[in-house]
Amino acid sequence: MKKIIRSGIYLLVFLAGINCFSQKSIKSSTELKTAKLQLIAGSKQYNPKAALVIFERQASEGNAEAMNGLGLIYSQGLGVAVNESLSLEWFQKAAQNGYPKAYYNLAMHFKNGIGVAKDEVKALDYFEKAVNTGYTYAYFSWGQMISKGLGSPQNYALAMHIWKQGADLGIQDCIYGLGYLHYKGFGTEQDYQKAFILFQLAADKGGSAGMYMLGICYRNGYGINIDNQKARYWLTQSAALGYKNAAIELGQAQPENAMPNQINTQSVALETINTLNEGTAPKKFQKVNQKAIQGDISGIYTGYLIRYDWSGQNIISKTPLEVTLNKKGEILEGEWKEKEGDQAHFQANITPEALIFKNSKIDRIEHFSNNTPKTYEFKQAKLQYLQKDDMVYIAGNIQLYDLKEHEIEKPIYVSLQRNASFEDTGGKQIISQVIIYPNPVTANSFNLSYELTEPTDISIEIYSFTGFLVSEQKLKTIQEGLQQQNIQFNGPSGNYILNLHYGTKVIKTILIKK
């Protein structure tokens, strides 16, 4: 009987303890809610000093949430002077006491170097710990670090795995992240259709980034029919939530894909070319396998740099390009000059599989850079060297790497022809300094300028890159000196070879028609 009474007393004491603890926990939670309201500037309850007292007292009693709150107070300067070091200390104490979000806050400090030396390895570790201890919203930041190669080697497959876990929990940022990888083809097949579905899911959950990408897809016809009304709607919704890129896009007169090949771009497998038969640029991107570069390819080349959308189905820009090459054994170096970018010096190792660039960068402006140059690093090139008759061509793929975004740039194709120099077939040189202007030619005529040392009969022939004779005519020359002739030319847009004949000699130069 005594044993039963004693057990009953223990049970009552235990239950009383639970009730006491429960009441204390409820009181602490209520106090913290009040303290949080007291930190909101402009509210009726605004009283940061009183809030600080509550957070400090509860932190001293071991409340991890209060410790994390003190970290936020000192990091944001809520009623106190900003103190990043003290903020870091409180986040560390909160994490040690098992508060999951504190790991996330620590990760942000180490990622951005706030109150501590920047350490991406530690930041990555803290994001992972935040997820593993229950703060699931850290899935996106954890995957983003992996996708950009921050704190670890870049690994899109792992980033996708991490974001998939977050997406399964309904986290809209992770759903957007999966869409982003499908949109660009990072770690998976490039697929606008899948990306669009994921962006729609993220947007439906209120995600501003998902809304922005929906607007981009509708505006350019990526995975869906072009619909300017829907594009503006989603971009406006995103901008209203403070997403800056959406506001910038709304201010753009034209979309990125201003001249689409179709109103609905569906992603398909890209063709791989083992042997190029001509140097002209394809309407749709082609993957080119490198061929052994033999002989001396040194010289000045002119042509175009063509950028495609991520699917490779649409040309989004075509920029006049001049490249000077100097081959020294297995090293290729030179100068790169493009109309919409800076001049850049480059150097690359020639390997059987590709040209591998070394410390070569260029600044370029593209549609999404908001008229601000972005720095790209030359990564590699897969090119083929063609020779037809007396002409030399280089064509293939160039891969650039966006140093700010930590990712490769859109598909790029180059089509270049070596500028032919004066060809000696015996006899003295009568004509020199042959110049076509403007070049590219934008009208149905162009000016031809050259120096003449004595009167002579001259004829010109204009050939397509495939060797088809497009135009021929004879020129009248009166006397020696600088000659300027206006040449009628109604050929379609493209690259041409102009041959200037006199006697037994010929001078070749490139004519570009836009």
Give pLDDT tens digits along the chain (514 positions): 333 333 333 322 322 322 333 344 666 788 899 999 999 998 899 999 999 999 999 999 999 999 999 999 999 999 999 999 999 999 999 999 999 999 999 999 999 999 999 999 999 999 999 999 999 999 999 999 999 999 999 999 999 999 999 999 999 999 999 999 999 999 999 999 999 999 999 999 999 999 999 999 999 999 999 999 999 999 999 999 999 999 999 999 999 999 998 999 999 999 898 888 766 778 999 999 998 877 778 888 988 999 999 999 999 998 889 998 988 889 999 899 887 667 899 999 999 999 999 999 999 888 998 888 899 999 999 999 887 767 788 999 999 999 999 999 999 999 998 876 534 334 456 677 788 888 889 999 999 888 888 888 888 888 875 566 789 888 876 678 888 889 999 988 877 888 888 776 778 788 888 8
Instruction: Look at the block and give the residue holding tokens 């030179």.
Output: 334
Supply the pLDDT for residue 371: 80
> Quick check: 213 and 224 in contact, CB under 8 A?
no
327: exposed, middle or buried (Cβ count in 10 Å: 0-12, 13-18, 19+)? middle
Q: Kindly list the structural domains of the chain, giving each domain's residue range(s) and its CATH number in brackets, ordered by start.
A: 31-250 (1.25.40.10), 272-418 (2.40.128), 431-513 (2.60.40.10)
How far CA 193 is from CA of 225, 266, 390, in Å, comes to: 11, 7, 46
Asked if 501 and 459 touch (Cβ cutoff 8 Å), the reply is yes
What does the pLDDT read at residue 478? 63
Structural element, H or E, at residue 333: strand 331-338
Q: What is the pLDDT of residue 456?
A: 82
Burial class (CB in 10 A: 0-12, 13-18, 19+), 394: buried
Measure the CA–CA gap between 363 and 80, rounded to whole angstroms.
43
Write the burial class of residue 123 (CB in 10 Å: 0-12 exposed, 13-18 middle, 19+ buried): buried
Q: How far apart are CA 328 and CA 350, in angstroms?
A: 10
DSSP bridge pairs for 355: 350, 381
Q: Which two tokens stand for residue 320?
A: 């006049």
Q: How many residues does the chain have?
A: 514
